[in-house]
Amino acid sequence: MTAAATRIALVGAPNCGKSTLFNGLTGGRAKVANYPGATVETRHGRFETPGGHSVDLIDLPGFYGMSPRSLDEKIALETVLGKDGAAPELILALVDAANVRTHLQSVLQLRAIGAPMIVVLNMYDLALRDGFEIDLEKLEKELALPVVTANATRKAGREALLAKLDGVLAGLKDIKPAPAGAYPAPEDIRAHQGEARRIADAAILYEPLFNRATRIIDRFALHPLFGPAILAALLFFMFQAVFTWATAPVDFLDASAGALGEFLGARLPEGWLRDLLVDGVIAGVGSVVVFLPQIVILFTFILLLEASGYMARAAFLMDEIMHRFGLNGRAFIPLLSSFACAIPGIMASRVIENDRDRLTTILIAPLMTCSARLPVYTLIIAAFIPKETVGPFNLQGLVLFALYIAGIFSAVLIAFLFKRTIAKARSQPLIMELPTYKLPNAKDFFISLWMRASAFLKRAGTVILATSVILWFLAAYPASATSLRESFAGRIGSLLEPLLAPIGFNLEIAIALVPGMAAREVAVSALGTVYAVHGGPEDAQGLAETLQSAWSLPTALAFLAWYVFAPQCFATLATIRRETGSWKWAGFALGYLFALAYLGAGLVYWGARAAGL
Amino acid sequence: MLLSDMKKGAAGRIAAISADDPLIEAKLREIGFAESDSVELAHIGPLGGTPVCVRLNRTLIALRLDEAKAISVTVEP
Ligand SMILES: Nc1nc2c(ncn2[C@@H]2O[C@H](COP(=O)(O)OP(=O)(O)O)[C@@H](O)[C@H]2O)c(=O)[nH]1
Ligand SMILES: [Mg+2]
C-alpha cells in the first residue's frame, strides 16, 4: 500500500492550525505554537483514512501567498509548486474560519495555478463561539472547490474533513495535478483580493467584531508603558520561579542520588565495578539528572508563552530596540526560543527575511542562556551564593537572572558589532500578524513538555552516561595513579592547565571542559565524576559541598562567566553549519565564543581577586 | 493620509497601497491589506512610535512606519 500513498500538503497562513491538524491526523509530534514561524521545515507523516486511502501528509511552514520572502516561506512554496520533486497530488488549504475575508485570497492564488484542493475552514469552533454565520454551500459554489469545516484540536472536529477527503480521493485519478506555476504579479493579487472579498460578502452572513478578549488583553500587553513592564516582569518571574520552585524537588533528587550511591557502595563488593557505578555513573549522570525539575519549570513557561500568542507581542514590543541594534524584531522569537535550546532557536531564524540578519541571529543565538546551562549555573550558584533574600527576591534567583541578562546584553552588543562589520545590510521590513490569544491546549502542552523532559533524560542516559564512564576510566587508571594528576585524565588536563590557570581554572576544571565539548551539562557530570574518583571513599556529600571546599569564590565566578559564552555544545555547532551551509561560520562562532569565554572568565577572576573576594 | 501619520485610535478606509518595492506591496496585500478595507491604528510601539499595530478586518498586523507609509487611508471622523 505504501507506494500508492497520496501526497497531500497542508497549506495556509501561519497559525491557522496546520501543525495541529497534522498531529491529529498522523499522531505526529510537530511543534504547535501560537506564533508565526513555529514551523520552519517540512514534515511528513502517514495515516490511513476511514475509507482505506493511504496518505502521505506534509506539514509546511505557513505563508500568506505566493511572494515568499523568508526561507521558511520559500520552503513551503517550493514544496507546493513541486520544485523539489513531485508536487503534492492534493492540497488541504486551511483557512482560519474567522478570517475568511482576508485569507481566502491565498486560496484563490492556489486555485489559479490549478492545484487540486479542499478548502478547510479550521478553528470553526472559535468562529461559531464568536458568533460567525457562514453559508458553506454558497462558499463551495462560489469557490467551485470542496469546502469543509474543522476543529483540528479534536477528533470529532476532524471527522467531517476525513469524510470529505475520502470522497475526493476516490475521484482523484480524474484530476490533473497543477503544472509548476509562476509567481503571480501584484496585479493578480489585486484581482484575487477583490474576488476574495466578493465571495466573502456573499457567503458570510454575519461577521462579529474583532475578538474581545484579545482587544482587552492587548490594551495592557501592547501598551507603550505597561507592555514592556509586563514583558520584563514575566521574564523575571520565570527565572525566579526556575530557582525557587525547583529547590525542593532538586534537593530531593540530589539526596536520592546520594542515598543510592551510598546504598550501592555499601552492598556491592569492593572493586572496579563498584567504583564505576558509584563514582562514574551515579556521581556523573546523577549530578545532571537532579536538574530535571528546573528544566521542566523553564519549559513550562516557554511552552505556555508560545501557545498563548504572547510571543508575537513580545516581538512587537522589542522590534524597535532590536532594530536600533541592527536586528529584526522577529529575531526576538528565535532568541527567546534559544532560552530553551539554541538549536530550535537557530532553526527558527528561518523566518527572518534578510540573509545577513539571519546570519547575525544564528551567530548570537548560542549566547542566549539555554536550558543545558541551567545545571552548570545552578550547581555553582547553590554552592557559592548564600541562600538569602534581597527584599522580596531570592538572591540565588537574582544571580541566575543576572547571568541570563549577561547573555542577552552580550548578544545585543555582538549583534551590533556584526551588523557594522561582517553582516552589513540595510534595514529590513517588518510585516507580522499578531494571532488572537488562545488558551493553550492541555494535551499539546503535556506532549511537548514530555518530549523536552524525555530528551533531557535521554541525553543523560546516552551522551552523559558515555562520557561519565569514559572519564571514570581515564580518571581512575592507570591503577598505579595515586592522585588525579597521575591518571590519564590528569595528564590530558595538565596540557590545558597552563592555558587555563591564568583565568583561575584548576586541573579538575581543565579535565571537565574536555568532555564538556559534547554538551554543556556534561561539565557538571564530569566534575561529579572527577571529584568522586579521587575524593574520600566514604564522603557522601553532594557535589556542591565538594566544590565549596575545593574552589575559591573567584574561580567559581570565573567558571560561571566562562559558561555565559563558551560554545560547548557540538550539536549547536553542527546546526550552525547546516543552517549557514558552511563550516566557516560554525568555526567562526566557535572561535569568537571561546575568545569571549576566556576574556569574560579572566576579567571576572581578576576582578574578583582585586575586590578581595 | 498615510497610515504612518495616523494617531493611535484613529480609523479609516484604505484608499491606496503602493510601495517602491513591489515585493513589499505584494506582502502587504497577501497579509490582508486591500483597498476599501477598514483599518484602525490600535497600538503603537514603545520606542519612537514604531512599529505600529493595526487592526485590519479581524486581524492584528504589526508593521514598521516605513512599511506603513505604503498605505494611504481615508480617515473617518
Ligand atoms: N480552538 C481551536 N484552536 C486551534 C484549532 N486549530 C489550531 N488551534 C490552535 O491554534 C494555534 C496554532 O496552531 P498551529 O497548528 O501551530 O498552526 P500552524 O502555524 O498553522 O501550524 C495553536 O495554539 C493551536 O492549539 C482549532 O480548530 N480550534
Ligand atoms: Mg505549524
Average pLDDT over residues A58-73: 86
ipTM exceeds 0.90, yes or no: yes
Q: Which of A70-74, A119-123, A191-195, A333-337 has the lowest mean pLDDT?
A: A333-337
Q: Is the pLDDT of residue A588 over 60?
A: yes
pLDDT above 80 for A308: yes
Report CA A60 to chain centroid distance, whole Å: 18
Three-class secondary structure of residue B54 per DSSP: strand
C-alpha distance from B29 to closest chain A C-alpha (Å): 7
DSSP for A521-552? THHHHHHHHHHHHTS-TT----HHHHHHHHS-
- Nearest residue of B to residue A330 by CA position? B62
Answer whether residue A139 shows pLDDT above 90. yes
User: Across the interface, which of B30, B42, B45 has its CB nearest the CB of A65?
Assistant: B30
Q: How far apart are CA A513 and CA A326, in angstroms?
A: 33
Please give the mean pLDDT across all residues of chain A. Answer: 86
Q: What is the mean pLDDT of residues A299-305?
A: 88
Task: Give the nearest chain A residue to B32 (CA atoms).
Answer: A102
φ, ψ for residue A442, nearest 5 deg: -60, -40
CA A133 to CA A94: how far, in whole Å? 18
pLDDT for res A537: 47
Query: Is it the case that residue A426 has pLDDT exceeding 70?
Result: no
Closest atom, ligand 1, to C-alpha of A14? 19
The answer to whether the Cβ–Cβ distance between B29 and A105 falls below 8 Å is yes
> A429 vs chain B: nearest CA distance in angstroms?
7
Reduced to 3 states (helix: H, G, I; strand: E, B; else coil), residue A341 is coil
For residues A317-332, give the mean pLDDT.
82
Q: How confident is the model at residue A1 (pLDDT cuts 50, 70, 90)?
A: very low
Reported as half-sphere exposure (CB side, CA atoms, 13 A), residue A345 has a value of 28
- Mean pLDDT calculated for residue range A340-362: 83
pLDDT for A2 equals 42
Cell for B67?
512599511
Average pLDDT, integer, range B38-46: 93
Q: Report helix, strand or coil for B8.
A: coil
Residue type, A326: G
Chain A residues 434-493 with CB within 8 Å of chain B: 434, 436
Chain B residues near residue A197 by CB distance under 8 angstroms:
34, 37
Select the more confidently predicted residue: A178 or A465. A465
Architecture, CATH, for domain A6-206: 3-Layer(aba) Sandwich (3.40)
Contact between A430 and B67 using a beta-carbon 8 Å cutoff: yes
- Region A244-261: mean pLDDT is 82
Examine the pLDDT at A448 and tell me if it is beyond 90: no
Q: Tell which wins on pLDDT, A424 or A201.
A: A201
Section A234-256 average pLDDT: 82
Residue of A15, A18, A20 with the most ligand 1 atoms within 8 Å of its CB, for mutation: A20
Q: Tell me the mean pLDDT in the region A358-365.
A: 89
In the predicted model, is pLDDT for residue A169 greater than 90?
no
To test the pocket of ligand 1, the residue of A22, A32, A63, A333 to mutate (highest count of ligand atoms within 8 Å of its CB) is A32
Of the candidates B26, B48, B53, which has its C-beta nearest A222's C-beta?
Answer: B53
Please give the grid coordinates belonging to residue A375.
Answer: 545545571
Q: State in Å: Cα A525 to ligand 1 middle.
A: 39
State the pLDDT confidence band at A535, using cuts at 50, 70 and 90: low
All structural domains of chain B, each given as residue ranges with its CATH number in brackets, are: 3-75 (2.30.30.90)
Report pLDDT digits (tens) over A556-577.
999 999 999 998 888 889 889 9
B31, A427: Cβ pair inside 8 Å? Answer: no
Residue nearest to atom 8 of ligand 1 (CA): A17
% of residues, chain A, pLDDT over 70: 95
Q: Is the pLDDT of residue A182 over 60?
A: no
Q: Which of A451-465, A581-595, B35-49 has the lowest mean pLDDT?
A: A451-465
Position A353: which residue type?
Answer: E
Tracing cell 484530476 back to the chain, one arrives at A175
Mean pLDDT of A3-24: 89
| Crossing angle of helices A395-420 and A373-384, rounded to 10° | 130
Tell me: the pLDDT tens digits for A490-506? Answer: 888 888 999 999 999 99
* pTM greater than 0.80 (yes/no): yes
Q: Which of A87-96, A526-535, B44-53 has the lowest mean pLDDT?
A: A526-535
Q: Is the pLDDT of residue A330 over 80?
A: no
| pLDDT of amino acid A187 | 66
Grid coordinates standing for A383?
Answer: 554552592
Q: Where is average pLDDT lowest: A137-146, A204-213, A590-599?
A: A204-213
> What distance in Å separates the CA atoms of residue A386 and residue A399, rounded to the nearest whole number?
11
Atom of ligand 1 nearest to the CA of A23: 15
Per-residue pLDDT, averaged over A46-65, amounts to 91
- Is it the case that residue A247 has pLDDT exceeding 90? no
DSSP A479-530: TT--SGGGSHHHHHHHHHHHHHGGGT--HHHHHHHTGGGS-TTHHHHHHHHH
Residue entry with cell 522577529 = A330
Give the span between the Cα atoms of B62 and A431, in whole angstroms: 6
Least confident of A365-369, A487-491, A602-606: A487-491
| Chain B environment of A99 (Cβ under 8 Å) | 32, 57-59
Q: Does the CB of A431 have a partner CB in chain B at under 8 Å?
A: yes
Three-state secondary structure readout of A357-410: HHHHHHHHHHHCCCCCHHHHHHHHHHHHCCCCEECCEEHHHHHHHHHHHHHHHH
pLDDT exceeds cutoff 50 at B13: yes
- Which of A69, A190, A316 is facing B53, going by the closest CB pair? A316
**C-beta neighbour count of A458 within 10 angstroms:** 11
Is pLDDT above 80 for A368?
yes
How large is the average pLDDT for residues A47-76? Answer: 88
For residue B58, report the phi and psi dihedrals to the nearest 5 degrees. Answer: -110, 25
Show me where the domains of chain A are located. Answer: 6-206, 450-610
